[in-house]
A and B are shown apart, each in its own frame.
Chain A
Amino acid sequence: MTPQVAIVLALAIPVAGAIGIAACHRAPNLRESVTLAAAAGMFGVVLTLVGPVLEGSRPALFVLEALPGIGIAFRVEPLGMLFALVASALWIVNSIYSIGYMRGNKEQHQTRFYVCFALALACTLGIAFAGNLLTLFLFYEGLTLVTYPLVTHHGDDEARRGGRVYLGVLLTTSIVFLLTAIVATWAVAGTIDFAPGGILGDAGLSNAAIGGLLALYMFGIGKAALMPFHRWLPAAMVAPTPVSALLHAVAVVKAGVFAVVKVIVYVFGPELLAGVRAADWLPVVAGFTILAASVVALRSDNLKRRLAYSTVSQLSYVVLAASLLVPLSIAAAALHIAAHAVGKITLFFAAGAIYTASHKTEVSQLDGIGRRMPWTMAAFAVGALSLIGVPPAAGFLSKWMMFQGAALAHHYVAIAVLAASTLLNAAYFLPIVYAAFFRAPPAGEPAHGEAPVAAVVALMITAAATLALPFFVQVPLALARALAGIGPN
């Protein structure tokens, strides 16, 4: 299989899967088999690309000329490779989990759910492999639209309200800011292809113009949830938990920070930004988002809402790390995309398992639940420790590199923010673990066991991956280093 064929297949398999799922809507077992087969197939295809990319090749594919001089084109580089790898691997686990969750909760419209899910993954891969800003924008907007039916899945008033905020924020930011930024880039640079070192270096922009354009991009990529455009993410929590787990902890939000890193590295170029004082606001906004979102998470009693604000905060880790502009911090940003993904999906899986088994949604209801759902809560503890950054869990490595990067950049405010947020992370996660295992369950509560086995298996897999990632870190680390231009040591 040539890399070009692999790129086509990586996008075509989920689309074909969606068609297959729709065709099998009368036979749920067959339908879920199609989902699993598509997920496995896509992961296999993505894997074949890792070798060539690590060897320095950048497989490219030009599909068609959409506007004069601008094509729909793909080009696989290390960051996109890493993102595609994470998203496609977790889709397999998430599909297993979805089966347990959707059946356990007797959800309606399951066919539509799986179809939209497959299409969302196709869009995610389109974003990961996009070779220019237009292609990225095309799939970025596509991802917003295909996830809308998932957010409004329940179809009630709450879902409609959540859907409005979701769509409102994401479309407003992307149409008003991002599209304007892309057109402006085309107008001044004459190209919108991603190129190592950036494309705006020779455009002769003033410092203020660079700062303004950077703002258009950073706030335009609303999926990165930089404050004040973060409200869509908590609003999206009305969706069934598998959606929150894969899409709003991995695919959609990571598409956001992925685009942020991609724009910084391949559109502006770190060197250009490093020389401009007008770009200094970005670490400040990211740092503020990290701390403010952590405080909101601390004060949220609803478990999914707490996780959502934790995600807002963690996304800004990636933005902060990328905005420090030293190679080590850029590599840390890329690695954190993977590390946060496995940790956070575990936490969401656990939240969904708790809801399926006990219909509990609030943190204050979780006293003693670890005794009834030991596997689930053990996995939750692992995910929480990873996000706090305790070794050997996955989150430790990226956080460590971020501290190093911040020190290299002499950005002491960033170090302070990282340290403070680590404490905040501990403050909003550890009480849950403590209550689950060390407090007695309230008396007179109906007994229940673990969630359906498919859900428990899925969350054990991701918890194991969280613990194992540091021992198998060569591939992600190599990709992250390749992105930042650090050679293998």
Chain B
Amino acid sequence: MIRAQLPALLVVVPLLAAPVIVLARRAALAWALALAASWSSFAIAIALFLQVRAAGVVSYAMGSWPPPWGIEYRIDALGAFVLVLVAGMGAVVAPYMRRSAAAEVPGERLYLFYAMYMLCLAGLLGIVATGDAFNLFVFLEIASLSTYVLIALGRDRRSLLAAFQYLIMGTIGATFYVIGVGLLYLMTGTLNIADMAARLPAVTETRPLVAAAAFVTVGISLKLALFPLHFWLPNAYTYAPSAVTAFLAATATKVSVYVLLRYFFTIFGASPAFAEVPFQEALLALSAIAIVTASLVAVYQPDMKRMLAYSSVAQIGYITLGIAMANRAGLTGAIVHLFNHGITKGALFLLLGGVAMRAGRASFDCLAGLGRAMPLTSFGIVIGGLSLIGIPGTAGFVSKWYLVLGAIERGEWWLAVLVVGSSLIAVAYVWRFVEAAYLQPPGPASPRPGEAPLALLVPAWLLVGACVWFGLSTSFNVGGAATAGQLLLGAR
């Protein structure tokens, strides 16, 4: 009985947890509720992943209104894979929050913080689970609005500005998206994504479709911080509370990538209109520029959190590069990197949260001599950094392998050179940390010797372990990504 309701429960559990948390008010109770809800969501996501693997596609008619009239929740191989990442990150970050948020968020607002976290999680899961284009917009707004609040709760006052910046950009993005959906509704008369995909090839008037594709692409690109629409991201990541940065870096942009994949392959893939404008070529060029410039900018950041934020812009470039390659290896690389980069950046931001707790912030002058002061944290950052570079034995290597393979299969050697060459820029910024932590004596700003509390270290090291595990035993991440990629390519 309950098995059939899982797609709804996945979203409903965290969504309802939010008002319950507001009613509970006490910080400890609020945290316990958030923890329970996020772990339940993770369990549901895993159950759904197994269901999808066995049955193909899981479809759920909300309120028993059959699609395409009612809202359909539709989870396929790609959705299930992304759901595991999002819910998994939610489950890992939740236990981390108790100590980290207590240190960074004013005590009287903690319950609101947890409530917003639940709304954000519900929104992100909803985006992936729903099979309805307008419902997707609703969840996009739920996730975005709660994100603005979460960022604004950072202890630095600049977090308000960062949240405002993101609010403006995010709202523009959402507006563009909904304009695109409106145009699509106009031309097809449906909002159900699968139904839309089936009707689009028959639409003969292509100009509104091109406009719709343009609006949706730009709107989503804003949300996923595709160069040059990334300007909100570095500030948002830098000034948000540590746990929020980790959660957002691992999930928010990845969910936007999911939406882009949905539109590019499932919806527009079969439409001749999509071929009229060189979307893929534009995406390829922008990704290439993103990878190189954002990596270079990252090298020169004085603050490690900000450095990793720019690195995220570059790494998102790898994902969109794989999407733009649009062949099997490239798409597998994109989807697997969505997962691998999620866990890698999650691990790194969680570890930096520990540094921020001990040293107050994470600028490079605080990191001098960190290898002695916080050995476990430092070593974890090094492993995460190796995964960013793509050293074999880490998750990042697996992504790189498929992206290079995709480039070679297209016969475009410059793309292969771009992918491997840009890893060297990652070496440069990762080694800034290594030299600071291990080859510099502690400075006045360095933290006194002493590790971060276990409540922070354990979740972070869980993800560090995942970086290594998914680099050596790849049946889940590569298997999941390859299945999803095949599904998308089959759709077009």
Please report A residues at the B interface, Cβ cutoff 8 Å. Answer: 64-68, 72, 134, 137-138, 141-142, 145, 149, 152, 155, 159-160, 163-164, 167-168, 171-172, 175-176, 179-180, 183-184, 186-187
Contact = CB atoms under 8 A, between A and B. Distances in A.
A333 B473 CA distance: 36
B482 interface: yes
Given A152-B439, A167-B427, A175 B420 contact: yes
B423 A160 contact: no
B416 interface: yes
Nearest to B400: A179
A183 B416 contact: yes
B435 interface: yes
B392 A187 contact: no
Interface in B413-432: 416-417, 420-421, 423-424, 427, 431
A176 B401 contact: no
B401 A160 contact: no
A149 B421 CA distance: 24
Contact of B438 (A141, A149, A184): A149
Nearest to A164: B431
A164 B405 CA distance: 29
Given A64-B473, A72-B472, A171 B420 contact: no
B296 to A, nearest CB: 16
Interface string B370-401: 00000000000000001001111100001011
Contacts of A142: 392-393
17 contacts: A64-B472, A66-B472, A68-B482, A134-B392, A141-B391, A141-B393, A142-B392, A145-B386, A160-B435, A167-B431, A171-B424, A175-B420, A180-B404, A180-B417, A180-B420, A183-B401, A183-B416
Contacts of A72: 472
Given A66-B474, A141-B391, A186-B405, A160 B386 contact: no
A67 B479 CA distance: 9
Majority DSSP secondary structure for residues of B touching A = helix
A183 B393 contact: no
B421 A176 contact: yes
Contacts of B400: 179
A3 B82 CA distance: 43
A176 B427 CA distance: 12
Q: Which of A72, A167, A175, A176 has the most CB of B within 10 A?
A: A175
Contacts of B424: 171-172, 175-176
B408 interface: yes
Contacts of A183: 401, 404-405, 408, 416
Contact of B417 (A66, A141, A155, A176): A176
B409 interface: yes
Contacts of B421: 176
B420 A176 contact: yes
Contacts of A65: 473-475
Nearest to A187: B408
Given A167-B427, A179-B400, A183-B416, 6 more contacts: A142-B392, A149-B438, A152-B439, A163-B439, A171-B389, A183-B408
B408 A184 contact: yes
Contacts of B405: 183, 186-187
A397 B405 CA distance: 44
Nearest to B398: A67
Contact of A145 (B391, B438, B439, B475): B391
A68 B475 CA distance: 8
